[in-house]
Each structure stands twice: as C-alpha cells, then as structure tokens.
C-alpha cells in the first residue's frame, strides 16, 4: 500500500471515530446515568446484604444500646432526672433523654464497622477491584458511604421499635422527621470512619483505634447527660463537649424526634461532613492521598 493510501485510510478511521491501528476501532462509550445508577445501587445493596447475612452484627448493634437503656438508665433514673430543657416541654425520664444518645451510639459503632470492612476489603484485594473501575473515585466512596448509612437506618429503627414498647414514645411524626437528621448524622460519622480507614493499615490496629475514637466521642458529649450539668461540674469538659461533633449529631437527632431543628447543630454536622468526606476523597486519591503512599488502590 502506498503512503498516500495509508494516510487516507487513517483519516477515514479518524472521521469514523476510530483510532488508527486499533483492533476494535471505537473508543469506549462515556458512562451514562444508567451506568452510574447501576453501580450505586449495586454498592449500596452489597452493604445491606452483607449486614443482613451477619446476624451477630445485628444483635450486637441492638443489644449494646438496649443494655444502656434497660440497665444503666433504670439504675440512674432517680439520680439523673432531667429538668425541662428544649426540646422537651415537661420533665422527662432519664431513659427518654438518653434515647437520642443511644441512637448516636448505634450510628457511631456502625460507622466503625464500615471502616473495618474497608480495611478488610483492602487487605483481601476487593478494594483494588472497586477503585480501578472507570467510575470516579469520589462517586465510589460516596456510594460506599450511603450503603453504610442505609444499614445504620435499619439498626436505628429496630432500636426505636423496641424502645416504643418500653414506653419511650416520641410523637408519631417524630419517627418521620428524625429521618433527615439520621441521614445527616450517619453521613458525618460515616465520612469520619471512611477517612480513618485510609489511615488504618491492618485489622489488628482497628480495635485500638476504635477505643481511641469511639469512647472519648461518646462520653464527652450530651449523649448521657445534659450539657448544663457538665458545665456545673467542669467548664473544661463542657467546652470539649461543645467542640465534639458527636454532641451536635446527638442534639440534631434529639430535636428532630420532636419535629424541631437545632440550627447550630445542623450547621456543625454539615460542616464536619464536608470536611471528613473531602479528607476521605483526598486520602483515597491514587496520586496524592495516603493510599498512594502504600502502593496504589489496594493500599498494599
């Protein structure tokens, strides 16, 4: 074939959307909305199925707050009675007060479990398969995060169902108005855990990190006692509780159960969600983040 004929053939291929010398001839088609939806639903459904097949995880997630509700709260009911504070319109039992805090506990532990699954997937190589797909890495991480939030919603409403028969009954509309607050708080705690999963190298280190993060966040918050009582005993601890994002997640849920909005807590939760999620996306960046320093998508 002459040089002119070869040049003309290559030009014809390019005009037809084909690469010269390519065996397939066409570039891969761009990803459409249907492909994104399929990927998103697949990742979320995988998280839900994994949770449904792990009955011990469901029981542990349910038993832990119920022990606090039935034993701890009952024992301290007389000692730690709660006066009239927003959003409550009258004196409430201690069990009623700590219910939002126990909901936050469920979401916090579920977020740590999601972090554990990320570390496990990275060690087994499943993370590499996910992160080298043609979808944007931020979209994959967000899908993983939404899957964890969906699991936490199942756990929370199972807990509220049991608490209902224990005569802890917020207004009926509260079960609906609390849903946006649960999603936001779940996204914040899940984003934090997602960022932590980029730091944890091995499963053996996970227990120590959990103890270092979960218990300080839970006890230095308004989950178990009103902040005005904390202020009476220690101004320093009160200030720590005020800067604790978990405090604002609990208060957001507390007000939402009664159809109200704590705007300060809402702003803090949204801000921390943005920071944690941005940090997680950066950490999983293959060229800049923490995962890049460990050898690529698998982090090995």
Query: Which carries the bigger pLDDT value, residue 280 or residue 184?
Result: 184
pLDDT, averaged across the chain: 80
Q: Is residue 216 part of a domain?
A: yes
pLDDT at 39: 85
pLDDT in tens, 95-107: 888 999 999 999 9
The answer to the question of residue 63 being in a domain is yes
Reference 109, options 70, 67, 143, 76; nearest CA is 67
Residue-wise pLDDT for 13-43, tens only, equals 344 444 444 444 454 556 778 888 888 888 8
Q: State the burial class of residue 139 (Cβ atoms within 10 Å of its Cβ: 0-12, 13-18, 19+).
A: middle
- Mean predicted confidence (pLDDT) in 203-228: 82
Beta partners for 82?
92
Residue 186: the pLDDT is: 94
Residue 211 is assigned to a structural domain of this protein: yes
Q: In this predicted structure, what is the pLDDT of residue 247?
A: 95
In a domain? residue 9: no
Euclidean distance between CA atoms 271 and 264, whole angstroms: 11
**Structure confidence at residue 251 (pLDDT):** 95
Q: By residue range, what is the domain housing residue 264?
A: 55-294
**At residue 153, does pLDDT exceed 90?**
yes
Interacting residues of 7 by C-beta distance below 8 A, sequence separation 6+? none
For the residues 175-180, what does the mean pLDDT come to? 95
Checking if the pLDDT of 55 tops 50, the result is: yes
Overall domain count for the chain: 1
pLDDT > 70? residue 201: no
Pick from 16-20, 68-72, 248-252 the range whose average pLDDT is largest. Answer: 248-252
Provide the percentage of residues in the chain whose pLDDT is more than 70: 77
Burial class (CB in 10 A: 0-12, 13-18, 19+), 36: middle
Position 219 in a domain: yes
Is the predicted pLDDT of residue 205 greater than 70, yes or no?
A: no
3-state secondary structure the chain: CCHHHHHHHHHHHHHCCCCCCCCCCCCCCCCCHHHHHHHHHHHHHHHHHHHHCCHHHHHHHHHHHHHHHHHHHHHCCCCCCECCCCCCCCCECHHHHHHHHHHHHHHHHHHHHHHHHHHHHHHHCHHHHHHCCCCCHHHHHHHHHHHHHHHHHHHHHHHHHHHHHCCCCCCCCHHHHHHHHHHHHHHHHHHHHHHHHCCCCCHHHHHHHHHHHHHHHHHCCCCCCCHHHHHHHCHHHHHHHHHCHHHHHHHHHHHHCCCCCCHHHHHHHHHHHHHHHHHHHHHCCCCCCCHHHHCCCCCC
- Higher-pLDDT residue of 176, 64: 176
Residue 221 lies in a domain: yes
**pLDDT value for 15:** 46
Per-residue pLDDT of 264-280, as tens digits, reads: 999 999 999 999 999 88
Q: Is residue 179 part of a domain?
A: yes
Give the HSE-up count for residue 262: Cα atoms under 13 Å, Cβ half-sphere: 25
Q: Where is average pLDDT lowest: 77-81, 205-209, 292-296?
A: 292-296
Q: Is 126 a residue whose pLDDT tops 70?
A: no
What are the C-alpha distances in Å from 91 to residues 68, 145, 174, 257?
Answer: 20, 38, 18, 16
Q: Is the pLDDT of residue 10 over 50?
A: no
In a domain, 163, yes or no: yes
In this prediction, what percent of the chain has a pLDDT beyond 90?
Answer: 32
Does this model's pTM top 0.85? My answer is: no
């Amino acid at each position: 074939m002459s040089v002119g004929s070869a040049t003309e053939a290559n030009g014809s291929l390019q005009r037809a959307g084909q690469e010269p010398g390519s065996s397939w001839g066409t570039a891969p088609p761009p990803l459409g909305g249907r492909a994104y939806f399929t990927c998103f639903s697949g990742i979320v459904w995988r998280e839900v199925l994994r949770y449904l097949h792990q009955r011990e995880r469901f029981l542990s997630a349910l038993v832990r707050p119920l022990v606090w509700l039935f034993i701890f709260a009952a024992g301290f009911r007389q000692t730690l009675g709660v006066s009239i504070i927003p959003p409550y319109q009258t004196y409430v039992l201690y069990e009623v007060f700590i219910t939002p805090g126990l909901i936050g506990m469920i979401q916090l532990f579920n977020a740590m479990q999601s972090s554990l699954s990320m570390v496990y997937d990275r060690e087994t190589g499943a993370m590499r398969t996910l992160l080298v797909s043609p979808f944007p890495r931020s979209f994959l991480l967000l899908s993983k995060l939404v899957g964890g939030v969906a699991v936490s919603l199942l756990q929370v409403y199972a807990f509220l169902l049991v608490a209902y028969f224990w005569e802890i009954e917020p207004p009926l509309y509260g079960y609906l108005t609390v849903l946006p607050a649960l999603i936001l708080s779940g996204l914040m705690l899940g984003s934090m855990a997602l960022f932590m999963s980029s730091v944890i190298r091995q499963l053996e280190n996970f227990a120590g990190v959990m103890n270092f993060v979960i218990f300080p966040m839970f006890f230095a918050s308004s989950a178990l006692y009103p902040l005005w009582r904390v202020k009476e005993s220690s101004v320093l601890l009160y200030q720590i509780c005020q800067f604790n994002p978990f405090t604002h997640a609990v208060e957001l849920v507390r007000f939402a159960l009664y159809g109200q909005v704590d705007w300060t807590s809402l702003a803090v939760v949204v801000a921390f969600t943005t920071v944690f999620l941005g940090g997680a996306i950066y950490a999983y960046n293959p060229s800049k983040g923490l995962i890049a320093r460990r050898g690529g998508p698998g982090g090995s």
